[in-house]
Structure 1
Amino acid sequence: MNRTEFLKNSAIATGTLLTGSAVNAVANPIDLSRYPHASGKTFNLDYAPHEGMFAQNAGNKFLDQIRYLYDMGFRSIEDNGFLGRSEAEQSQIGDLLAKLGMRMGVFVLDGGDNWKISLTTGKKEFKSHFEETCRRAVEAAKRCNAKWLTVVPGFYERKLPYGIQMSNVVDAMRAGAEIFEPHGLIMVLETLSDTPELFLQHTHETYSVCKAVNSPSCKILFDIYHMQRNEGDLIVNLDRCWEEIAYIQIGDNPGRKEPGTGEINYKNIFKHLYQKEYKGIMGMEHGLSLKGKEGEMRLIQAYREADNFL
């Protein structure tokens, strides 16, 4: 089971938003002059689309999409399901990224059904499976020169006190960090808003885990969409936890679409991150407000507008 299923088909499954109008999009090309900033130069920050986000313009093959993203000015991608791809496909993606000088963003350290049961339980079989997945991820990361791997510790275990659950999570993350440290890989723990049953709900909790693990291989994935829903005060919380944040993801709220479609002032946030000299990847983990080719071009222009903060 991948993370999309784990989170019960949340709105990040953008592929379903894009495929329905493919035929009509090809038959009815859009007027690109309406989107003068939609392609060309690179961005001030390193934004990373994912598979399917530009399928209308680039086609259904992921390698073709990556080439298209490069032409549009992007220099990184995300691929949550990378660990589930064949070794041959992983190598093809990695080879193309290397050829283009692009970076691989996060892929999910998918623990299968054990994510539902959770590392909070402290059960040996779940921790062992987690460690096995970490070792498998090391080999996958080598094929695409990946550095970051998303980890979701799972659900609350209501039969255990919170402090015991926290200790169990820290213990599991230390075991993962020991596997990743020799390879320079970083687990990024994601705090989510999809359900109150998830153990990590706020940035300060994830910060506590990372401080307790005390490893360069255990850091925070700060998803702006989720944190706006769970706690707000985005810039303040970014600054409070900055030393433990290694990766950032994007999505406006409400709706989880591109910047400019909701209440979050992304231009100010992007400017703040730029001024803090953030050099990491900004994962575009959201859907599109418009369907078809035009929606994809509007998406790029939305990033051009939010990225225009200098």
Structure 2
Amino acid sequence: MPQFAANLTMLFTEVPFLDRFERAASAGFTAVEFLFPYAWKAEEIKARLDAHGLRLVLHNMPAGDWDAGDRGMACDPARVEEFRAGVPQAIAYAQALGVSQLNCLAGKAPAGVPDALLRQTLVANLRFAAAELNAAGLRLLMEPINTFDIPGFYVNRTSQALEILDEVGADNAFVQYDVYHAQRMEGELAATLQKRLSRIGHIQLADNPGRHEPGTGEINYRYLFALLDELGYSGWVGCEYKPLTTTLAGLGWRERLDPNGCDC
């Protein structure tokens, strides 16, 4: 059975963010992830991690004004300076919080910008970020995101992400593979994991439709968990889903979908 990290941006939202660490530990999680740490001091977050014996396995690099609709900016040629200014900030938080990898959101394609320029900008920004992260001993991730939930998101398929990373040419750059986004855009989940696992640095999950917890939709997560065990995946699987009712009420999926558990 894979090891799961609670995504605190999506889970335990009934309490303020800093109180979600205690909720995650009480629910049996030993690791957490979230979108962004930058609204809080690193010391505040580190204190919650330490107090509850939790490991932070992932957060994102600065992605613009989220509340205003930004979903990253790495592909935007008008925001290169802003993107690159966020890299040292992300590294500083990662080092303070013990994170070994950071996710870069490519962002939505700005209207009227040729695809060739978008790709050129993204590749150059990823090369810059990968070099800076490598010097700090960190891995860089890039996540394809479906265009149903985020219309216009520039990187939306696994093959596209891999082609871009090939062009970047950095040994510390990997795909962040979100099963939910992949199911909506391309399917072929098992085949992709079998073929591309060496290029995948982190996995996230949610079921489809609805982006709820595993077992509420069409994805055969029991099979996928068994496959990840068979393939020897040793990383974390981030639980980035919207609970169908409450987080605690839905957590039974961990036992029900355990490949080594009973079928009753």
Q: TM-score range by the shorter chain?
A: 0.7 to 0.9
Mapped to 2, the partners of 1:69 and 1:154 lie a distance apart of: 29
Mapped to 1, the partners of 2:208 and 2:220 lie a distance apart of: 10
Please say if 1:47 is aligned against 2:47.
no
Unpaired stretches in structure 1, ≥5 consecutive residues: 1-43
Which shifted more, 158-167 or 234-243?
158-167
Question: Which of 243, 249, 258 lines up with 1:307 in the alignment?
Answer: 258
Q: Quote the residue 2:187 is aligned against.
A: 232
- SS class of match (2:237): strand
Mapped to 2, the partners of 1:273 and 1:117 lie a distance apart of: 29
Q: Deviations over 1:118-139 (max 9, x none)?
A: 433434xx22221211101111
Once the two structures are TM-superposed, the CA of residue 117 in structure 1 deviates from its matched residue by: 8.3
Q: 1:1-310 to 2 correspondence within 5 Å?
A: 44-51=1-8, 53-54=11-12, 60=15, 62=17, 65-96=20-51, 100=53, 102-113=54-65, 115=70, 118-123=73-78, 126-193=79-146, 194-290=149-245, 295-309=246-260
Q: Deviations over 1:88-132 (max 9, x none)?
A: 3133234336xx2x3212212123149568433434xx2222121
Q: TM-score normalized by structure 2? A: 0.87
Q: Deviations over 1:186-242 (max 9, x none)?
A: 221111112341111110011111222222332111111111001111111223322
The structure with more helix, counted as a fraction of residues: 1
> Which structure would you say has the larger Rg?
1
Q: Is the 8 A contact 1:252 1:261 kept in 2?
A: yes
Q: Is the 8 A contact 1:258 1:286 kept in 2?
A: yes
Mapped to 2, the partners of 1:74 and 1:277 lie a distance apart of: 21
Q: Quote the residue 1:35 is aligned against.
A: none
Q: Is the 8 A contact 2:42 2:97 kept in 1?
A: no
Q: How many residues align?
A: 255
CA RMSD for the aligned pairs?
Answer: 2.3
Q: Is the 8 A contact 2:178 2:204 kept in 1?
A: yes
Could you tell me which amino acid in structure 1 is paired with residue 186 of structure 2? E
Mapped to 1, the partners of 2:202 and 2:248 lie a distance apart of: 25
Q: 1:66 to 1:87 in 2, by over 3 A?
A: closer
Once the two structures are TM-superposed, the CA of residue 148 in structure 1 deviates from its matched residue by: 2.0
Q: 1:307 to 1:63 in 2, by over 3 A?
A: farther
- SS class of match (2:180): helix
- SS class of match (1:264): coil
Q: Is the 8 A contact 1:207 1:241 kept in 2?
A: no
Mapped to 2, the partners of 1:226 and 1:287 lie a distance apart of: 14
Unpaired stretches in structure 2, ≥5 consecutive residues: none
Q: Is the 8 A contact 1:83 1:109 kept in 2?
A: no
- SS class of match (1:200): coil
Mapped to 2, the partners of 1:187 and 1:67 lie a distance apart of: 28
Once the two structures are TM-superposed, the CA of residue 147 in structure 1 deviates from its matched residue by: 1.5
- SS class of match (1:119): coil
Mapped to 2, the partners of 1:89 and 1:117 lie a distance apart of: 25
Could you tell me which amino acid in structure 2 is paired with residue 138 of structure 1? I
Aligned residues with identical type, % of pairs: 24
Once the two structures are TM-superposed, the CA of residue 265 in structure 1 deviates from its matched residue by: 0.3
- SS class of match (1:150): strand
Q: Is the 8 A contact 2:35 2:59 kept in 1?
A: yes
Q: Is the 8 A contact 1:153 1:199 kept in 2?
A: yes
Q: TM-score normalized by structure 1? A: 0.75
Q: Is the 8 A contact 1:50 1:284 kept in 2?
A: yes
Q: 1:286 to 1:236 in 2, by over 3 A?
A: same
